[in-house]
Structure 1
Amino acid sequence: MRPHVFPWLLLFAAALAACGREDAAPAPAAAARTATAAGAEAEPDADPDAQKLADAVAAQFPAIPLIVVPEIVGVTPAQRALESAMAPALDPIAGVSVSPARCDGGGALLRDAGLTSVDAQGQLSRIGEDGIFKIGADGSGTANYEGGLITVNADGSGSINGDAGGGDDEDREGALVRVEADGSGSYNGPAGVIALDGKGAGTWNGDSGLIRNNGDGSGSWNGPLGLVTINNDGSGRWNGPLGLVVVNGDGTGLVDTPARPVRLPALPKVPPAGRFPPLKKFAPPGAPCGYLITLNDRVLFDFDKSEIRTDAAKVLDTLAAALKDVRASAMEIGGHTDAKGSDDYNLALSQRRALAVAAALRERGAAQQAQARGYGEAQPVAPNEIAGQDNPGGRQLNRRVEIFLRT
């Protein structure tokens, strides 16, 4: 924030007019100046030229700028990276997982595109192309991604070491931010150095100079307009282009050199400084919209086959019994493959597998209205390759059948 540039031509014109008076002032006026300098009350109409200057000064006396915290997005860049491809995942039994499904604003299912796990305490861990995330059930956690390292606590406190600015302005990157739960904290970045105590006091050392807010209505500003000091009793000083201006706080003051007594209104108190906003907690992307049951292809099928294996009967029996007790507005059974083979072949294989699972569940009295669809290799949940090298573990995760229950 840069301070307003005041119309100094008017002030300098008034100052020059005052300086052009006769050097030999009458003795009573000289005595009045001496008395005021010693602390006596100003004569209201002692010097019209001085009062004219004082009126201009009163209208343009600089206000101490508010200490404005730069836009601190907090975890938003990291959250965006997380949201780009993350969904919670639970693994109750080997080869089968059940996770809460989340959908975007249009109702489309958000799918994971990395390796995600959730432990018994609700701690989510994710390692993917978007970074490394460790998120607690209360929204706290850490994110190490291309924008920097972010730590967020459950009470909104935390730190950002890296990108702390929003928008496309590149010079807002690279800040070190510390935020406490009470709104205190510090910022060291392109906007300067800011420190706030969360109670209305703080300092800002930046392009506009050094601003100090004491939080009690007083403060100071040492910047391009000179040195401004404001006290909480309405008094203050301004040492700037017009010389030293003294405001006594009782309706009187001094202007010009040598000092001349004038009427000057008391100064308004300095508004309290702001607080650092709490850092946004991490959250799974989208809105809850149902459940996603994922079956590893090895649970149901032999390699490159779409016929369900005979030893998969127990899994299907258990799954069908569970589905009968779930109330869902819609159900979709989707088949997925890895990236080995042609797109057309994988699409056809995934379609046959989805239809086979749908038929098996219907035989068991479940999924009567479910739709079956093959997606081929179009919706991976893990990289098929890493740095140009084959990733067998990722390909295995991509070979799956998903049952999406929309609630």
Structure 2
Amino acid sequence: MRSCVLPSRILSLLVLAALASGCGRDNDAPAASAAAPGGTRTAAPAAAHADEAGADSDVQKRADAIAAQFPPIPVIVVPEILGVSPAQRALESAMAPVLDPIAGVSVSPARCGTDGVLLNDAGITSVDAQGNLSRNGDAGIFKIAADGSGSANYEGGLITINADGSGSINGDGRDEDGEGGALVRVEADGSGSYNGPAGVIALDGKGGGSWNGDSGLIRNNGDGSGTWNGPQGLVTINNDGSGRWNGPLGIVVVNGDGTGSIDTPAKPVKLPPLPKVAPAGRFPPLKKFAPPGAPCGYLITLNDRVLFDFDKADIRSDAAKVLDALAAALKDVRSTGMEVGGHTDAKGSDDYNQALSDRRAQAVVAALRERGAAQQATAKGYGEARPVAPNEIGGQDNPGGRQLNRRVEIFVRT
């Protein structure tokens, strides 16, 4: 998971595991033969069972296809609440038709170190040997004591920080339309809440959380189970591997023991158990949020599912809407440079991931140039070297984290 940064950003905090696509099993009827009254076996039932087996095979094939589409419970994304400049708002406005954190398209501020290199992480920056920070400049007014307490008034947002990492953020940096403000409360144990344009987000600091926003209601119970009631219907995962999806493909029931059912009335099929939902994260202590470096542009992130099929570098035809909106927005952005970076998860070899990320970055640059944008952009693949979320949790595979790591980032330097 990406470290949260304030006041410039709060990024993805908790990864709710994406459900694995399932492999089906056969549901053939048991072979049987009937005996005639005189004790002679007849071949008629065998023919009937052959027909039934064929029908069951068709049902299982459809079950396999449905299992492959079983929607993942999304990552809960704590959105940007401070440090959103008028230029970034203009960029977001131009990209409005495609911006969707659940679908995997977002814009966030970028910060660079003194060497001009894009920073991926942030922490409190001390300005004297005792660790006291006091800064008054274009970035805002910061007064932070050596124990981490203090305040920051940043582009209309007031942050109050206590020594234990708790505190509050009043993101009153609204634009002329009243958009952009948010209230955030963070406790020392990692619990807290967010109430702003993205909806209402709550974390209990113990692995549970919820997000009630435009994409529906997402709940993580913190015990390996969770629900998502949204555009794909109602998805439920229990911590014993069972679950249920009531959506556009009908009712899918997973029993957790390798069996399940589809359709109404229910038809028994083989369905694999569902992986547990990864525990929700916690709000990082606020004292870790004051960013080093200086604002240097914007970072546009596109999840790999937005543009590519699995393990492919050819942009899908249905990604045209995203690329059209992105190219139109980039044409109006004043920049001093642009880099398109490809990133993968940790599955596969380093060399393979490096090559795949290179090809994907080059494909995005080519697609944008065809649309009259990004003429001076460079393409670079980073492979698995720059994860923004753990590929594993406690030695176990973390599908939700790997999903966040498979991405293309467009760094627009301003």
Give the TM-score normalised by structure 1. Answer: 0.42
Does 1 or 2 have the higher relative contact order (CA < 8 Å, sep 6+)?
A: 2
TM-score normalised by L of structure 2 = 0.42
Structure having the higher Rg:
1
